[in-house]
Each structure stands twice: as C-alpha cells, then as structure tokens.
C-alpha cells in the first residue's frame, strides 16, 4: 500500500494544545533557543553560534522555519525532538525516559510543559530574550503519574548544562531504567570524536563518521573509567583545534554512565548522556524522586574553543584552586611499600632543598598493609612500621616548610583485613553467599550502608584530627563488578557513588583547606562531578613522558592544567621501561600541576641541579600556566606538537614544542603559535636546557633568541606566517617564552 499523502493545504496541529512560549538565551558567543510550542515537551531550536538579538518575531521565525517537512511513511505531524525525546512525539530513536510500573504499564510517556521558571520567577510572557540564565521547565504526564523538573542553564562562559529530576506522582512504584537528555546538532556535524584507553594509556582519541544509528558509549565499571568517552564531540568533517564548528557533551558522573550520538533514518542528529542505571537499581515509590547528573554541552569553533568553555567554567567557581599550585613529591615510586623513617626523612630533606612544597606519603602506612594483599579498610597507623605513629615524619616534613599529604583508598577493602573479617556483609556483592571476583586483590566496601560509611569516616577523621595533613591522595583501584547490597541483592552503584561524594565533602567540611586528589588506578575517575568534591586528578599511573604527552593533550580537553597531576618520573619509566632524559621528563610535566615521582637519593648532583632549575621555571610561570588559555596548533600529520598558554590579555605566553615521533621529511612544518594578538609585537625567548643547545639543529632566528635577549617578531608572523622549526629528534622539546613589547 502506498503511503497516504497529506494535501498541501492541510494544517497539521500538535496533538496536545497549550501555551506556546519561546526563549532565547545568549552568552559568550553562544545562542540557545528553547521552543515550547502548544505546551509540548521543550525542544532546542538552536544551540550554536550567537544569533544576535532576535526579538519575538525573529525567535518565532527561527522556530517556525526549523519545522521539518513530513516525509512519506512517517507520522502525520512533524517529529519533535525534545530535550527528553519521547516516542509519543514520533521520535524513533532512543527514548529519553524509559521505565515501567509493576504491571508493565507506564513505559511510554506523554509529557507536556505545565510551567516555565526563568531565573527563579515564573515566565508568563510568550517570549523572553536574555543573557546567561537558568530555566526550569515543569513537565507532567498525569495519566502515567510522572512529573519531570528539567533544568537548563546557559552559563556566563557560554557552557550549557542540563539535568532532570523525575518524580513518581502515581499510586504504584515506578522502575526507572533510563533518564537520558539529548541536544540536537545540525547536519554539518558530520564527524565524531571521543576517547577510549586503558590503564596507563588513558584518553586515547578515536574518530568516526556520524552515520545512521547510535554511537553508544556505556561505562559499566562503577567509576568513570580509563576508557571513558570523556567528551563526545560532533563537528564539521576535519575539525581541528582551531577550526571547524564543534559541539561536545560530557556526562558529569563518576559511576556508571553513558554518552551517545544518534542519527535516525530521517537524518536528524542528537548528542546525549546520563547515568547508566543497572536493572532494578532505581525503584521509585509513590512520591519518590530521582535526579540525574548534569549533562554539560560546549560549542565552539575548533576543539580549543570547546575546551576553553569547560576551563572558564571551572575557574569561575568560588572554590576553585588558586594558581600557586604547590610542587609535590609523591614517594610511591621511590619506596613503594618499604616505609622507613630514616629513608623517608632523607627524601624530605632532598625535596625541600629542591623547592618542593608538598610531600605525600603513599600506600603502606596502615594496618597490615605491607603489600597489595592485606590491610585495606584498616585505616589506623601501623604500630609495626610506625611505632611512634606518623608524627615524627609529619613534624619533619612540616618543619621543612612543606605540606604533608597522605594516601587513602576509602572505598576499598582487602578480604584479608580486620574490617572484612568483622563485617563481611559490608562488602559489595551479589548475595550473602557470594563475592565478586577479586581485582588488585581487593573488594569494594559498601558505603551505602550507614554503619560502613560511619566506620570509614570516623577512622579517616581520627587520622586527620591527629596529624597536620593538608592533602589526601584518594585512590580507587578496581572496577565495581556485581556491585550490590549483599543482604538484598539490589544494585548499589548509584548510592555508592553519591556516598563517596558525601564522604569527601564531610572530610573537607571538618578540615577547611584540605585538598583531595582524585586518583583511580591513575586517571579512571576524571569527570566534572568528582571535581566538585576534589581539587585535582591523577592523569595516569604511567609517568612515561612520551605517553603523558598524549594523555595531557586530551585530558585538557575537559579540565585546565592546574587540575592535572603531572609528575617528573625517574629516568627509566616504571610502567613502560623506557629511558628518557631529565629534560624531556620535566618538559612533559611542566604543563600541569608539577610534581616529582622519583627516588631523589639516586639522582646525581648534575640531575639535582637541573631539577632545581626546572622547579624554579615552573614556579616562575605557574601563574600564567593556570590562568592562561590553552591553545593547540593544527599541524596535520606532523609529529611535532605545539601547544601553549596565552594570558587572557594576550600580553604574555608560554609555548611547548615537542617531538613525539620521527618526521617523514627532513624539514619540519613551520611553527605557528596560535592565540596571540596579531597586531602586537612579541619578544620571543627560547628556553632550552643547556645540554640541548649543541644537540639541536636550529634555524637562525632561534640561535639569535638563544644568543641574545630574545628576538622581536610581530604577532601576525608568529600566528599566521609561522617560523622555521628546529630539527628535533624524537622525545626532544623546547619552550618558547613570549612577552608583548
């Protein structure tokens, strides 16, 4: 049978008439137009480049002009893609809300908009045009007994974020399977970029075409994951750091979560994300609510612009760290579990002499923890290893003017521990008679059990109350498999994640000024929500400087440099076995929150002198590094990477040039330094370790920059015409310091 054709003069109306209200939000070069037509579910008519003032007529024109034609063999009205896509609107893709009542009903929703609140006041007008603003849209489906409060905020940075709260207004329980928000992206978004990876190689980029179907990234690890999507981008084909429109989303949640990019057969495309709920995990009794995580959305011309919105948002928070990020020594790769007071105080003396400002004692200070096999969960100082407690080391470190930090892994437990023997029911597992497979010889402590939570909190507070500790390295070394409350068998990842946040907050409230690092087998818990409760992330357990070049390059797509733990490793990498010069190790660590992970007693006098110089270079430039804007040059297939930070006023900059592989040609592509003021003139100085001068083949301009007090070059030359590049061997780098004249 042929599809029924709708006569051209037929007026197609929405099935649920109601008020029509439309909003235009504008901030920092971004416009978001929100369309509530006839009271239907809210839809985004535009998210992208600033449209300028539109006025009511312009807003209406945009919304009306964007209504699709009705194709043959489809529903008889134009399909509406709401922020919470639903089948009842004709959407044939993944629904935003999925769940059911015990009898199987309630699985399809017909949510309508009952009210709009703009910046705290009910919106009664048909149109509103404003700057950065917060909008709450109250949705309801009385027939199914469901209500949704949908919050959408366009922040002053131009970053968009949204989240939803579902309330069961019906008379029977509602089992929620999924609450995933979605944003439309235009036809020009032809290519996808997100990230994969593994332990010691986090945030590996991957690209693919944006084709029909669903590109679904589901993380079921119970933590963000070393293979997390990180940021899911869609953009014009070939988009790079500096060019091509890009739209990106990030699900801010540290437990199970999803990102998706979906194109239906109609050609319409969306990006979305939300929490991944396990079967039966979210059962809402009558009157109960569930609030999903924030979905952040960033738009810009090139990946740098997308990243910049995330960075500016984080830096605008009142609790964000300052730019004086302390140089940190972590003793893990120096001593591992071999805790000896004389050796550790010697490391402290050597560190202080170099200019180190924070000293962190890692795993092995508590209970029976002499190796990976026992003691996790027993957070009391080991009398065997520390007969006088930690006081002698803490006092020595703080007496040298350094802050003392300590390692914890509060969410974990060894089966061989006093805690596990006393309370086996506190371990996450499918039943009382079964436990998940061990990983790293450990299990997960169920912090959703109040007594377990209180036990860990009180033990940690006892240590923090006794000693002068300003910093916690908070580790999380295994995935959550079969993560359930053993007494009930009900999945517990959601509650476990919220309990971890709550514990972090309680400790910081009890000890104002306490900083926490999110470490999770390295970089497996890196997301915007954990950073609401912590102060930096450990990028990776791999400190190999070559591997870190890639991991830093892409971790910074979401978070700024001051939140990225970046350490100078020992000469031979403990994870890859590679040997690297100190110059390259320090060069790679400089663009981040600098630290050291090296047995300094094995360093030569020359190495200690060079290390002191690198630390001085970091302290000299950290204010610029941590307030400047990240810029990365598009260089095609070149294996010489160029990135920098440019001060907001563009009066100074610091650029890093790094050879990450062998070149295919004798000459390197010209160096173009993005982000500068093309109308300004800059004094360019090459900062090279002395031992590299003789080993590099330098172009004339750089020899001048080294021999004299720099070279004066116009910004338009630096950014557009470019400079001849030095001939770098693999794993060599240089730094360029620029100051406006």
Catalytic annotation, residues: 475, 541
Degrees (nearest 5) of the Cα angle 618, 336, 506?
70
Contact present, 246 and 239 (Cβ < 8 Å): yes
Instruction: List the alpha helices (DSSP H) in 581-711.
Output: 582-590, 605-625, 690-693, 700-707
Burial class (CB in 10 A: 0-12, 13-18, 19+), 171: exposed
* Cβ-based neighbours of 10, under 8 Å, separated by 6 or more: none
* 241 CB-side CA count, 13 A: 21
Q: DSSP secondary structure string, 4-37?
A: PPPPTTPPP--SS----EEEEEEETTEEEEEEE-
3-state class (DSSP) for residue 530: helix
Beta-strand ranges (E) seen in 483-588 are 484-485, 490-491, 515-518, 536-538, 564-569
Question: Distance of CA 520 to CAs 61, 353, 550, Å?
Answer: 50, 31, 19
* HEC profile of 551-572: HHHHHCCCCCHHHEEEEEECCE
CB atoms within 10 A of CB 322: 10
Contact present, 246 and 232 (Cβ < 8 Å): no
Residue 553 tokens read as: 């390059």
* 214 CB-side CA count, 13 A: 13
Residue 388 tokens read as: 């006088």
Contact present, 450 and 505 (Cβ < 8 Å): no
d(CA 465, CA 421) in angstroms, rounded, equals 27
Own/partner contacts of 387-392, CB < 8 Å, gap of 24 or more, are 389/466, 389/467, 390/361, 390/365, 390/463, 390/467, 391/467, 392/341, 392/345
């Amino acid at each position: 049978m042929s599809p029924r054709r709708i006569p051209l003069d037929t007026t197609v109306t929405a099935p649920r008439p109601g008020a029509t209200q439309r909003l235009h939000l504008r901030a920092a070069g971004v416009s978001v137009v929100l369309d509530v037509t006839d009271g239907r579910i809210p839809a985004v008519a535009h998210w992208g480049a600033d449209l300028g003032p539109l006025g009511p007529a312009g807003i209406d024109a945009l919304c009306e002009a964007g209504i699709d034609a009705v194709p043959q063999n489809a529903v008889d009205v134009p399909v509406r893609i709401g922020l919470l896509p639903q089948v009842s609107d004709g959407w044939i893709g993944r629904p935003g809300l999925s769940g059911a009542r015990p009898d199987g009903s309630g699985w399809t929703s017909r949510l309508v908009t009952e009210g709009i609140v703009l910046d705290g006041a009910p919106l009664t007008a048909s149109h509103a045009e404003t700057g950065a603003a917060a909008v709450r849209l109250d949705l309801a489906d009385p027939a199914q007994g469901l209500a949704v409060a949908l919050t959408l905020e366009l922040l002053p940075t131009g970053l968009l974020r949204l989240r939803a709260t579902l309330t069961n207004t019906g008379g029977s329980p509602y089992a929620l399977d999924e609450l995933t928000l979605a944003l439309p992206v235009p036809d020009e978004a032809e290519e996808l970029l997100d990230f994969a990876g593994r332990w010691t190689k986090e945030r590996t980029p991957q690209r693919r075409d944006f084709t029909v179907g669903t590109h679904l990234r589901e993380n079921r690890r119970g933590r963000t994951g070393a293979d997390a999507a990180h940021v899911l981008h869609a953009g014009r084909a070939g988009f790079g750091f500096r060019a091509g429109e890009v739209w990106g989303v990030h699900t801010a949640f540290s437990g199970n979560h999803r990102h998706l990019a979906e194109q239906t057969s109609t050609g319409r495309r969306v990006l979305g994300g939300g929490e991944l709920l396990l079967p039966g995990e979210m059962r809402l009794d009558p009157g109960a609510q569930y609030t999903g995580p924030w979905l952040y959305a960033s738009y810009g011309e090139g990946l740098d612009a997308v990243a910049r919105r995330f960075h500016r948002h984080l830096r605008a928070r009142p609790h964000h760290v300052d730019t004086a990020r302390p140089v940190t020594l972590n003793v893990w790769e120096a001593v591992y579990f071999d805790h000896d007071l004389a050796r550790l105080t010697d490391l402290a003396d050597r560190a202080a002499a170099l200019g180190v400002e924070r000293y962190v004692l890692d795993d092995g200070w508590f209970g029976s923890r002499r190796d990976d096999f026992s003691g996790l969960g027993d957070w009391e100082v080991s009398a065997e290893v520390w007969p006088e407690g930690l006081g002698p080391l803490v006092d020595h470190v703080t007496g040298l003017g350094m802050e003392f930090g300590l390692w914890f892994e509060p969410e974990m437990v060894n089966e061989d521990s006093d805690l596990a023997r006393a309370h086996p029911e506190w371990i996450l597992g499918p039943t009382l008679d079964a436990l998940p497979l061990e990983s790293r010889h450990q299990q997960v402590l169920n912090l959703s059990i109040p007594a377990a939570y209180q036990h860990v909190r009180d033990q940690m507070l006892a240590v923090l109350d006794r000693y002068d500790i300003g910093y916690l390295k908070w580790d999380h070394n295994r995935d959550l498999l079969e993560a359930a409350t053993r007494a009930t068998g009900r999945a517990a990842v959601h509650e476990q994640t919220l309990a971890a946040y709550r514990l972090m907050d309680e400790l910081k409230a009890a000890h104002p000024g306490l900083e926490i690092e999110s470490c999770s087998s390295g970089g497996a818990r890196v997301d915007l929500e954990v950073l609401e409760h912590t102060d930096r992330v450990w990028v990776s357990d791999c400190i190999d400087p070559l591997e870190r070049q890639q991991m830093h390059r892409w971790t910074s797509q979401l978070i700024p440099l001051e939140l990225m733990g970046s350490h100078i490793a020992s000469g031979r990498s403990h994870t890859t076995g590679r040997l690297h010069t100190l110059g390259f190790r320090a060069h790679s660590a400089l663009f981040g929150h600098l630290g050291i992970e090296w047995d300094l007693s094995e360093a030569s006098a020359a190495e200690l002198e060079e290390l002191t110089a690198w630390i001085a270079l970091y302290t000299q430039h950290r204010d610029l590094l941590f307030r400047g804007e990240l810029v990365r040059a598009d260089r095609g297939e070149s294996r010489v990477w160029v990135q920098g930070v440019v001060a907001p006023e563009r009066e100074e900059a610091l650029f890093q040039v790094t050879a990450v592989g062998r070149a295919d040609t004798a000459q390197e592509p010209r160096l173009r330094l993005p982000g500068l003021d093309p109308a300004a003139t800059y004094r360019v100085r090459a900062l090279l370790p002395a031992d590299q001068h003789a080993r590099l083949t330098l172009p004339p301009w750089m020899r001048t920059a080294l021999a004299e007090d720099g070279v004066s070059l116009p910004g338009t030359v630096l950014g557009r015409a470019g400079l001849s590049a030095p001939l770098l061997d693999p794993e060599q780098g240089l730094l360029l310091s620029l100051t406006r004249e």
